A and B are shown apart, each in its own frame.
Chain A
Amino acid sequence: MKPVFEYSRGMREKELHYCPGCTHGIAHRLIMEVLDEKGQLGDAIGVAPVGCSIVSHQYMNVDMLESPHGRAPAVASGIKRVHPNSPVFTYQGDGDLASIGTSEIIHAAERGEKFTTVFINNAIYGMTGGQMAPTTLIGQTATTAPEGRTVAQAGYPMRMCEIISQMDAAVYVERVTVTSPGDVRKAKKALERAFEVQEKKLGFSFVEILSTCPTNWGLPPVKAIEWLRENMMEYYPVKQFKCPEEVK
């Protein structure tokens, strides 16, 4: 009988340390499935961020390193110079990419670096215990915004796809989520296109995945998915911002 579901060859057989209901596991697997289906697991090189997914190299079956906080796009730029034909990706959370690492991501995008960034936006700092992120929504509580984020105190949440898509050399920009089976399929498609853009050396490719953090949101997993759909998707619309003809 043909198996309907298997362990991905792209994932090492390790138990994930992520909290129940966290969507890192799905995101990891999607990237690895895409590389596996393209026959590129043996060529790919990944850059892990500082944050919960700093140890993603324990799970992803590709060569990887850990970047200092926020610097993953600069690190990937260096890797890509040595291996210009290998698929290179950064995997970064919202604190890493949208706070401490804004300089690196903007300039990598503007240089048209030929690697792919996967941006995990769960609107909170996970690893350090639930502090306000640059993407924390207005009114959302965090350990450093105990009464909820206010515009007066912390300004507005950063919309990274909207910012990145302004860059001419960022040619593929899409925001997806993984909160339903249909959304998971769309997210995988987005990742496929992003790696194809990279392979064809068309420019910089960027996929944002709206993600959950049940632990730091203080919600059970199913409620966390509902909260994401009801709150995050309004401020962060799931859509394709830019896509070159060559990969449509």
Chain B
Amino acid sequence: MAEKKLMKGNEAFATSAIHAGCRYYFGYPITPQNEVPEFMSRELAKAGGYFIQAESELGAINMAYGAAAAGGRVLLSTSSPGIALMQENLSLLSSVELPIVLVSVMRGGPGIGSIQPGQADYNQATKGGGNGDYHTIVFAPASIQEAVDMIYKGFDVADEYRNPVMVCADGMIGQMMEPVVLPPEKAPLAEEEIGNVKPWALTGHKEKRERNAINSVWLQQELLEEYIEQYWPKYVKAENELQDWEAINVENCETLFVAYGSVSRVVKEAMADLEKEGHNVGLIRLKTLWPFPHKAFELIGDNCKNVICCELSMGQMMKDVEAEVKGKYPVHLINRVGGMLLDPVEVVERTKKILEVK
């Protein structure tokens, strides 16, 4: 029977990965995700897995590349500047179609930034910093339970799409404690089984098949164009099938909030206060950042007069929301940056100010 356990976010993320059958983790210390490598260094070997403290984030994601190419189920975790260093490999892993799950515990930026929670890596996660045509599939949990579930499911999504999956948890979710129900434990793929389940993996050809070559370089551009066109439909499929969101009163509201991650919880509290004062409010909470949940915005009803984006960045998500509503409603921003947080009182006050100005 699944029981509820009180767990710290980062430790729950790592446990969820082990339950999903992940046996390879490569990490490098960076705040606020350090509990993940610390936990894995203690627990992964007990489960028959392998932990390496890499020499850098570059080392970590390249170890992950090797292990994923060899057919292993791999977890990585880091925080904002670490993702910046890993971008080359997110492009490469996409180009060679390899699955990994990467947890980004976002902090304040830019540059070395702050170690407090942030959401200013929305563009980094969804638009990528790697070269070329590719996408990273990005989930955005608002609670530890949701993060646990998204990481668990993320491994299957990564395998199905043969693509990196990123779970963007802000520092708040990584550091806080909440009760969680852990998903059931799956057995990892045995080494002898890898070749059957993942025929593309590097296992040694055993003199039974042609050698496998995982290549990312194409010296004839015609062939690269052909290759990109051949794998691109999976991104179209992802856009159709993976969009996920939570909708509250979207059809009827006059004031629609858009938020994700821990900020959405602050917004929900603010909404309760605003409702008490007679405001008709609704919320679209993004659960996937890529694909962006376009379908949620089709639900907006005729009452809508204002759209308010709440986020811990200078409006990175808001740009996607503006593109979505195409000028039909004014789009406003309630934000804090640099590691500073929004609280419900501030959201209520700033919302009222926005609505008064009209």
Contacts and interface: CB of A to CB of B under 8 A. Distances in A.
Interface of A: 12, 41-45, 47, 50, 54-55, 57-58, 60-68, 71, 74-83, 86, 103-104, 106-107, 111
B55 interface: yes
Contacts of B62: 67-68, 71, 74-75, 78, 104
B64 interface: yes
Chain B interface residue number, banded: 35 or more
A62 B207 CA distance: 9
14 contacts: A44-B204, A63-B205, A63-B212, A65-B202, A66-B215, A67-B65, A68-B89, A71-B65, A74-B59, A74-B65, A77-B52, A81-B50, A83-B191, A86-B203
Nearest 6 A/B pairs, CB to CB: A78-B66, A74-B62, A82-B70, A78-B67, A65-B214, A78-B63
Contacts of A44: 204
Contacts of A81: 24, 50, 52, 63, 66-67, 70, 72
A79 B211 contact: no
B66 A57 contact: no
B155 interface: no
B235 to A, nearest CB: 22
Contacts of B56: 103
Contacts of B24: 78, 81-82
Interface string B50-91: 101011101110111111111110100000000000001100
A42 B206 contact: yes
B152 interface: no
B59 A63 contact: no
A74 B67 contact: no
Contacts of A67: 62, 65
Nearest to B213: A57
Contacts of B219: 55
B217 interface: yes
Most buried by A among B92, B211, B212: B211
